[in-house]
Chain A
Amino acid sequence: QSVLTQPPSASGTPGQRVTISCSGSISNIGSETVNWYQQLPGTAPKLLIYSNNQRPSGVPDRFSGSKSGTSASLAISGLQSEDEADYYCATWDDRLNGFVFGTGTKVTVL
């Protein structure tokens, strides 16, 4: 089962800002950097944010990440229809000595 907790769903109208939370513990988010993945329907996940707040080349600056203590957040500003997808946070867990994923959040554009 997932070690990191995310809300199951989030939604907004085009142009709005949506925020997704990711809650962990001292052994994972509290100790390591957080990464975010976007999974469009029927496709493999894609790296969206790495090292808490870094965007890979090609990822629009509408996507931003942050981390504080044992929680992290992904923000999507200027929501667009193509942002409808599942979003997962992930990090390394020092106690488990392995990677852990969040429960996933489905973003719907109304």
Chain B
Amino acid sequence: QVTLRESGPALVKPTQTLTLTCTFSGFSLSTSGMCVSWIRQPPGKALEWLARIDWDDDKYYSTSLKTRLTISKDTSKNQVVLTMTNMDPVDTATYYCARTKVPAGGGWFDPWGQGILVTVSS
């Protein structure tokens, strides 16, 4: 059974750096074709993809946020970490991590973690 769980602070102050950890089980990020993505959803709004890291350590970022994001993995711990700098109240959202399969380009998210609500406020 594949599971993912997000962890990190529920509250951060403006200008601070957010660090989120995705801990997963049931698959290995060293297996060809396996990836993990981060996606967020502001309250009442649509989903927004943030970043993806692949089994071979290739990394992809949202064009609009790439200067603020860093994604990394620790294969031995089955963890993926996302950092987002210079947090702003508009970054208040539920942040999800999801296993990402990319069989031949494209790809899909399955399954998703339960999500973690991060509020940015002073």
Q: Using a CB–CB distance below 8 Å, which chain A residues touch chain B?
A: 2, 32-33, 35, 37, 44-47, 50-51, 56, 88, 90-92, 96-104
Contacts and interface: CB of A to CB of B under 8 A. Distances in A.
A6 B52 CA distance: 24
Q: Most chain-A CB neighbours within 10 Å: which of B47, B48, B49? A: B47
Interface of B: 37, 39, 46-49, 52, 60-63, 96, 105-115
B60 A97 contact: yes
A48 to B, nearest CB: 10
Contacts of B109: 35, 37, 45, 47, 90
Interface SS of A by simple majority = strand
Given A46-B111, A46-B112, A99 B46 contact: no
B113 A44 contact: yes
B46 A88 contact: yes
Q: Most chain-B CB neighbours within 10 Å: which of A33, A46, A99? A: A99
